Amino acid sequence: MKMVFLGPPGAGKGTMAVRVADAAGIPHISTGDIFRFNIKNETELGKKVKAILDSGELVPDTVTIELVQDRLQKDDAANGFILDGFPRTIPQADALGEMVELDRVINFELSDVEVVKRLSGRRVHPGSGRTYHVLFSPPRVEGKDDETGEPLVQRDDDKEEAIKNRLNVYREQTQPLIDYYRSRGKLVDLDSAPSPDNVYAALAELLGLKRA
Ligand code: ADP
Ligand code: ADP
């Protein structure tokens, strides 16, 4: 299945993508994770995009589109994938449309109030990308990754100023993709407000996956 997970930052796309990818045996492709990996490893790409990610603005379309094009050519993506955080603009969606025929676009719906709660409490394990929430999905030991015991961090763009900016960027540049995909008959709305297990159950049902 070739899918896009669309929705505001913090809606739970990454959390659900990890579970669906595992259950469906398809790769989870997060452009945000790819950028953060490059920043951490101080690659040329990482140096170019660090300030952009910290501010919550979008990386230029040309850079992002090329990255996704390369990633989708890998063998593991031949039979399906979950794109998480891409496309975020109409030109990105147009470019993706030239690369592949999508089966579904899942529209994660969540109010701004809940988005802010989720982003401000999000903590990540930088090495693996594992994601926690201080209230909704806490690690077994406070501040430590469950698997490695290494420290969890707050992303720079999950701090208050950047959150506001990211929501504006989402509204202006990404939200138009809802109509874009709805008019093409690809969109399915998903209420993302329930607990992680309940959102997953709804998603698994929708995609015809066995529950994990
Ligand atoms: P979240 O999961 O919180 O929505 P992401 O991890 O998807 O955030 O993205 C983090 C940042 O990476 C974005 O704020 C943006 O700077 C950059 N980014 C990720 N995907 C894209 C994209 N498709 N186009 C442009 N910039 C992107
Ligand atoms: P996105 O990839 O859309 O930016 P994440 O999957 O990173 O969102 O989730 C944002 C934060 O919300 C994380 O801290 C995550 O643990 C938490 N979270 C995810 N799904 C839910 C949910 N259904 N209920 C409560 N918190 C959630």
Q: Domain range for residue 6?
A: 2-207
Classify residue 184: in a domain, yes or no: yes
Tokens 């090329």 sit on residue: 66
Query: pLDDT class for 106, splitting at 50, 70, 90?
Result: very high
How far from 133 is each of 16, 19, 148, CA to CA, in Å? Answer: 14, 16, 17
- DSSP β-ladder status, 122-124 and 131-133: antiparallel
Q: Is residue 161 part of a domain?
A: yes
Q: Is 177 part of any domain?
A: yes
Per the CB < 8 A criterion, the answer to whether 12 and 118 are in contact is yes
Domain count for the chain:
1
Count Cβ atoms below 10 Å from residue 169 Cβ, excluding itself. 19
Check residue 160 and give its pLDDT: 87
pLDDT at 210: 72
Q: Which of the residues 13, 123, 130, 186 is marked catalytic?
A: 13
User: Tens of pLDDT along 116-139?
Assistant: 999 999 999 988 889 999 999 999
> Is 144 among the domain residues?
yes
- Average pLDDT of the chain, as a whole number: 96
Mean pLDDT of 86-109: 98
Atom of ligand 1 nearest to the CA of 84: 7
Please say if the pLDDT value at position 212 is more than 70. no
Q: Which of 2, 19, 36, 88 is catalytic?
A: 88
What is the torsion angle, in degrees rounded to the nearest 10, for the CA atoms of residue 119, residue 122, residue 126 and residue 127? Answer: -130
Would residue 212 count as lying in a domain?
A: no
Pocket of ligand 1 (CB under 6 A): 9-10, 14, 31-32, 35, 52-53, 56-59, 64, 85-88, 92, 157, 166
pLDDT at 211: 58
Task: Answer whether residue 183 is part of any domain.
Answer: yes
Output the domain CATH number for residue 9: 3.40.50.300
